[in-house]
Structure 1
Amino acid sequence: MSSSVEPPITPGPASDAHGPANQALKKGAARAAAVAALRPRYADDLARGTERLFEPRRTDCPWCGSDRLEERLRTTDLFQHKPGGFGLDRCRDCGHVFQNPRLSGEGLEFYYRDFYDGLGEKDMGGLFAGRRKTYVRRAESLRPFAKAPENWLDVGTGHGHFCEAARAVFPGTLFDGLDLSAGVELAERAGRVARGIRGGFVERVAELADGYDVVSMFHYLEHSTDPRGELRAARRALRPGGHLLIDVPDPESRFARLLGRWWLPWLQPQHLHFVPVANLRRELSGLGFTVVAEEHAGPHDPVDLLGAVWLLLNAVAPREEQPWLSSPPGRFRRALRTATVLAGVPVLLATAALDHLVIRPLAGRRHLSNAYRVVARRD
C-alpha cells in the first residue's frame, strides 16, 4: 500500500529538541525536500504524455489466444494517484484477466517509481516487516511435502522479510532472494537472505539451473509481463523432486466483482495478469509438475472491505504532497485531508472487524477468498 492514505502528523508542543513533534517536523521537512527534488523529473515525464507508457491494445487473450474478450474493469491509479487510465479485460473462453492495453517497459518504470523504493521504500519496508505471521504460515504450507529443504529461492523477495521469517520454520535451510529492485541488495546486507540476486528471473535463471529444492513466488506472477515464462524459469531452477509455491490474487473471488475498482488486489496499474486456478494447474501439469496442494482459505488476506474503504477515502480526500503534482497542496487542503481521513477511522475499524470476524472464517468457501496457493512438485 502506498503511504498516501496516512494522515499527516500535526505538530504539537515538545519538551525538548528530540521530542516527537520535532522529529515529525524534521521528517516532514526531509520528505518535502525529497519531493521538490523529484518534481522536475516527473514534470518532464508528464509533459511528454502518458500514451507512450502503454503498448498497443491486444485483440486476443495472452493465455489461450481467443479473441472473445470482454471489458472487466476500468480505473485509475487509486494508490499513488499518478496520471493515467487503466483497463482489465477478461477472456470469455479461459477466464484469464489481463491489463489491456498493457504498460510498456517505460510505463512500468514510471508507475513503479517511488512505490517500493525512493519515497515509498521506508513505508513499504515497514509494512512488509509487520507481516511476519503471514510469512510463517506461507512457509509452513510446505511442511507436509518437504521436511528439510537444503536451499530455497524466493522470487520477488522485495526486502527479504519472508526469508527472514521462514527460517523459524526451516532453520537449516539456506534462503536466497531475487528481485528487480535494490531492496534485494538491502536484504542481503541486513542478513535476511544469504544471497541477494538482482534482476529478472527469466534473464538470470541460466545461472540458477537445477540449483534449488524450493522456489517460491508469493504475489509475484501477477506483476510479470510473461507468467508462463516465469513458470518455465521456476522449473529450470528447481532440482527434480523440488517444490514450487505460488500465491496469487484470485480473479474468481466474489469480492472482485462486488467491490469493482475498489477491490484492493486489482492493484492497478501494477498487476498485469490474473490467472484462474484451473489455468495455472493445467499449465503446471504441461510443464511436468504435479500439483500436490491447492489452498484458498490459508492465503486469504482479510482486507477486502477495509481495503475498499481505504481506497475510497484516499480517492475523495485531497491529495497529499507528491512530486507528480504540479504544485504542493496548501494549508487548507492539508487540513481537509486530515479531517477526511480521521472521519473515516470508525468505518475503517468496523470493516476491519468484519474482514477478520465474519469473512475470514468463510474464506475457503463460496469463492470468498481473495487469493489462492498452489504447491507443485517438479517430477
Structure 2
Amino acid sequence: MPPTPPPSAERRAAYAAELAQGTDRFHEPRREDCPWCGSKRLRTRLRTPDQVQRKPGTFVVDECADCSHAFQNPRLSAEGLAFYHRDFHEGLDGLTDRLLGARGSRGRHRAAARALLRYAEPESWLDVGTGHGHFPAVAREVHPYTSFDGLDPTRRVEKARAAGHIEEAHRGRLTDPRIIGRLSARYDVVSMFHHLEHTRDPREELRAALTVLRPGGHLLVEVPDPDCAFGALLGRWWVSYGQPRHLHLMPLSNLLGELESLGCEIVATDRREPHIPYDLAGALALALGRVLPDLDAPWRPTPPTTLQRTLHTVLARASVPLLASVSALDHAMAPVFRRTRFSNAFRIIARTQS
C-alpha cells in the first residue's frame, strides 16, 4: 500500500524547509550553446514562473538562432525535476485538470492508433511514458491482435498492468542500460506521446527507442510544435511551454533530420490531427490560477483563513462557466487551427531499416 500522506501542517513544514534553501540549487549551470546544434547564438524566448502549481522559482526558455531548438536554460537538475513534479495535480480544480490533460482523450488515442494501420500490423507495441496506460487501453480496440506493454518511471505503470491496460509493465527510463538490454529488438512499434519534451536528452531517447525496435519497426512520436502561432500570441500563458516540466521544444525539421541521420525512413508527418484544442482555455486556466491560486497548497507559507477560503471557492465556481465557454470555442475553432500555423503539435512516423 502507498504510504499515508503526512498531515497538511507537516507537509507545509517540509516544503518550507526545502524552500528556505532557495530555488537556485535546483538548476544546473546555464548553457552558453545550443544542446541540439552547438550554436552559441541564443536568445531568450520566455521567462516565467511556475504557471500551474505556482511553486516558487523562475524559468527561462532560450531559443537557438540557427536551428530554432528551444530549451529550458538553465535546466532543472534531477533534484529540481523531482521537486517541481511532486504533487503536480495538487490543487487543480476538475475543469482545469481536464483542460491541461486534454491530450489524453479517447478520441485522440484512437486516432493515433489508427495512424499506424496503413504502415504496419504490429504484434508487439511499447508505449513509453505510458502513465496509467490510457493509450494502450484504447489502442487495443484498433489493434486487437497486438500485445501492448508500457514503460514509465512511476508506479502508475504497475497500476496500468493491474487494470489490464497493458500486458507487461516496465518501470524505469528507456535510456537505462538495464531496460535497453532487457527490451532490445523486442517491439514492432514504439510510441512516445508528449514524452520527448520532458526528457533531459531527446536524442538519447530516440536512439534508445530504435534499439528496442525490431528491424523494419515503426516509431511514432507526438510533441508540441514550437512553431505554433499561439506561442507568440499567448506568451507565458501558452500551455505547451509547460514550464518547468518541459525541458525541450523541438521543431519538426530538427527531429526529422535526427531520425534520418539514425538511418530511419520518414513515412508520415502530420500537423493537423495531433492538434489539441485547448490553447485558449488553457491560457485562461493558467491566468485564473495566478489570480486564484490554491490557498491550501503545502508550499504556501501559511494556511488560508476561513474568509479567504470562502472567497476563493465562490470566485473559482464563478469562473467555471467562462472556462467552459472558452473551451467550447477551442473545439469549435479546431478545424481552422489544424490547417494553419495555430496547430500546436505534430506527429512523426518513422521506420527503421529492415
TM-score using structure 1 length: 0.86
Output one character per residue of 1:212-238: Cα deviation in whole Å (capped at 9) or x when no partner: 000000000000000000000011010
- What is the correspondence of 1:135-284 to structure 2 with a 5 Å cutoff? 135-146=109-120, 148-203=121-176, 204-284=179-259
Amino acid at match of 2:142: V
* SS of alignment partner, residue 220 of structure 2: strand
Output one character per residue of 1:236-294: Cα deviation in whole Å (capped at 9) or x when no partner: 01001110000000000000110000001111100000000000000000001111111
Using the alignment, how far apart are the partners of 1:166 and 1:319 within structure 2? Answer: 36
Q: Which residue of 2 aligns with 1:300?
A: 275
Q: Which residue of 2 aligns with 1:78?
A: 51
Instruction: Determine whether 1:36 maps to 2:9.
Output: yes
Q: Which residue of 2 aligns with 1:52?
A: 25
Task: Say if 2:102 and 2:278, in contact at 8 Å, map to a contact too.
Answer: no
Using the alignment, how far apart are the partners of 1:54 and 1:276 within structure 2? Answer: 24
Output one character per residue of 1:163-212: Cα deviation in whole Å (capped at 9) or x when no partner: 11111010111111001111111111211111111111100212111000
Instruction: Determine whether 1:372 maps to 2:346.
Output: yes
For residues 128 and 171 of structure 1, do their structure 2 counterparts lie closer, same or farther at Cα, with a shift above 3 Å needed? farther
Task: Say if 2:127 and 2:136, in contact at 8 Å, map to a contact too.
Answer: yes
Q: Report the CA distance between 1:41 and its aligned residue.
A: 2.2
Q: Report the CA distance between 1:69 and its aligned residue.
A: 0.3
Using the alignment, how far apart are the partners of 2:175 and 2:133 within structure 1? Answer: 19
For residues 254 and 154 of structure 1, do their structure 2 counterparts lie closer, same or farther at Cα, with a shift above 3 Å needed? same
Q: Which residue of 2 aligns with 1:23?
A: none
Q: Report the CA distance between 1:59 and its aligned residue.
A: 0.6
Q: CA RMSD in A?
A: 2.2
Output one character per residue of 1:10-43: Cα deviation in whole Å (capped at 9) or x when no partner: xxxxxxxxxxxxxxxxxxxx99x65334223212
* SS of alignment partner, residue 35 of structure 2: coil
Q: Report the CA distance between 1:349 and its aligned residue.
A: 2.7
Using the alignment, how far apart are the partners of 1:194 and 1:350 within structure 2? Answer: 40
Using the alignment, how far apart are the partners of 1:285 and 1:270 within structure 2? Answer: 28
Q: Report the CA distance between 1:138 and its aligned residue.
A: 1.3
- What is the correspondence of 1:315-334 to structure 2 with a 5 Å cutoff? 315-334=290-309
Using the alignment, how far apart are the partners of 2:320 and 2:102 within structure 1? Answer: 22
Task: Say if 2:42 and 2:64, in contact at 8 Å, map to a contact too.
Answer: yes
Q: Where do 5+ consecutive residues of structure 2 fail to align?
A: none
Task: Say if 1:150 and 1:172, in contact at 8 Å, map to a contact too.
Answer: yes
Amino acid at match of 2:172: G
For residues 127 and 220 of structure 1, do their structure 2 counterparts lie closer, same or farther at Cα, with a shift above 3 Å needed? closer
Task: Say if 1:263 and 1:308, in contact at 8 Å, map to a contact too.
Answer: yes
Task: Say if 2:91 and 2:294, in contact at 8 Å, map to a contact too.
Answer: no
Task: Say if 1:160 and 1:184, in contact at 8 Å, map to a contact too.
Answer: yes
For residues 186 and 277 of structure 1, do their structure 2 counterparts lie closer, same or farther at Cα, with a shift above 3 Å needed? same
Task: Say if 2:104 and 2:135, in contact at 8 Å, map to a contact too.
Answer: no
Amino acid at match of 1:256: G
Instruction: Determine whether 1:362 maps to 2:339.
Output: no
Q: Report the CA distance between 1:333 and its aligned residue.
A: 1.6
Amino acid at match of 1:61: C
Q: Report the CA distance between 1:353 and its aligned residue.
A: 2.2
Instruction: Determine whether 1:340 maps to 2:291.
Output: no
Aligned residues with identical type, % of pairs:
50
Aligned residues: 345
Using the alignment, how far apart are the partners of 1:184 and 1:128 within structure 2? Answer: 20
For residues 217 and 111 of structure 1, do their structure 2 counterparts lie closer, same or farther at Cα, with a shift above 3 Å needed? same
For residues 171 and 36 of structure 1, do their structure 2 counterparts lie closer, same or farther at Cα, with a shift above 3 Å needed? farther
Task: Say if 1:317 and 1:336, in contact at 8 Å, map to a contact too.
Answer: no
Task: Say if 2:28 and 2:77, in contact at 8 Å, map to a contact too.
Answer: yes
Q: Which segment is superposed worse, 195-204 or 270-279?
A: 195-204
Task: Say if 1:319 and 1:329, in contact at 8 Å, map to a contact too.
Answer: no
* SS of alignment partner, residue 60 of structure 1: coil
Task: Say if 1:318 and 1:333, in contact at 8 Å, map to a contact too.
Answer: no
Q: Report runs of 4+ in structure 1 exceeding 6 Å deviation.
A: 122-126
Amino acid at match of 1:45: E
Task: Say if 2:91 and 2:296, in contact at 8 Å, map to a contact too.
Answer: no
Using the alignment, how far apart are the partners of 1:249 and 1:99 within structure 2? Answer: 15
Task: Say if 1:318 and 1:334, in contact at 8 Å, map to a contact too.
Answer: no
Amino acid at match of 2:66: D
Task: Say if 1:318 and 1:336, in contact at 8 Å, map to a contact too.
Answer: no
